[in-house]
C-alpha cells in the first residue's frame, strides 16, 4: 500500500469529495415574511376600519340619545297641556257669553278675564301658543276645515272664521284650529 492510501484510506484520491446540497430558491424564504407582513397589515387595516365605524356609531347613538332627552324635556307637558285646552275654551266662551252690562256680571266677567290672562301667561311661559288663523291661508297641518263659505272679498282657501283655536307646544301641534275656509 502506498502512503497515500494509508493516509486517505483505500481507493481514495488525495482531494476530498464535495457533496452537492440543493439550496432552496432564494425567493422562498423572503416570500414568507412578506406574505405574513401583508396579512398583518391587512388585519390592522380591517381592525382600524371596524374601530372607526364603532366610534362613529357610538357618536351617532350619543347624539340620538341627547336629542331624545331634549325632546322628552321639551314635550313632557304635552298630555297636561292637552287636558287644559278645554278649560281655556270654556273660560273664553264664558267671557264671550257674559256680555250683559249689569254690575254683578261685570265683576264676574272681570274675574274671568284676569283668570284667562293668567292662563295665557302660563301657557306662554311653557311654550304653548294659540293658533287663531283668521285671514291666513288654510294650512292642513295646523287647521281643520269644518265648513266652506263663498267669499268674494278674500282669496280662496283663506280662513274666514275660527270655531275653536288650535294650540302648539314648542312648535308641535297639540290641536288643530277648527276653521271656516273661503270657497274658490
Q: What's residue 30's pLDDT?
A: 60
Q: What is the pLDDT of residues 113-134, one digit of tens each?
A: 888 888 888 888 888 899 999 9
92 and 33 in a common domain: no
- Does residue 95 sit in the same domain as residue 178? yes
CATH of the domain at 149: 2.30.22.10
- Give the number of domains in the chain: 2
What lies within 8 Å, CB to CB, of 109 at 6+ separation is 95, 98
pLDDT tens for residues 131-178? 999 999 999 999 999 999 998 888 999 999 999 999 999 889 999 999
Residues 68 and 82 in one domain: no
Amino acid at each position: 500500500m502506498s502512503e497515500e492510501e494509508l493516509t486517505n484510506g483505500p481507493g481514495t484520491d488525495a482531494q476530498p469529495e464535495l457533496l452537492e446540497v440543493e439550496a432552496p430558491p432564494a425567493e422562498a424564504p423572503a416570500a414568507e415574511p412578506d406574505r405574513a407582513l401583508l396579512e398583518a397589515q391587512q388585519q390592522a387595516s380591517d381592525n382600524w376600519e371596524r374601530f372607526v365605524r364603532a366610534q362613529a356609531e357610538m357618536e351617532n347613538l350619543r347624539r340620538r340619545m341627547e336629542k331624545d332627552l331634549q325632546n322628552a324635556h321639551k314635550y313632557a307637558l304635552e298630555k297636561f297641556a292637552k287636558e287644559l285646552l278645554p278649560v281655556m275654551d270654556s273660560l273664553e266662551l264664558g267671557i264671550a257669553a257674559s256680555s250683559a252690562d249689569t254690575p254683578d256680571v261685570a265683576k264676574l266677567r272681570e274675574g274671568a278675564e284676569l283668570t284667562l290672562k293668567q292662563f295665557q301667561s302660563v301657557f306662554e311661559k311653557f311654550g304653548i301658543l294659540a293658533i287663531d288663523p283668521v285671514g291666513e291661508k288654510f294650512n292642513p297641518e295646523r287647521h281643520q276645515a269644518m265648513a266652506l263659505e263663498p267669499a268674494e272679498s278674500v282669496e280662496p282657501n283663506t280662513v274666514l272664521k275660527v270655531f275653536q283655536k288650535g294650540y302648539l307646544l314648542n312648535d308641535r301641534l297639540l290641536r288643530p284650529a277648527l276653521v271656516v275656509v273661503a270657497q274658490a
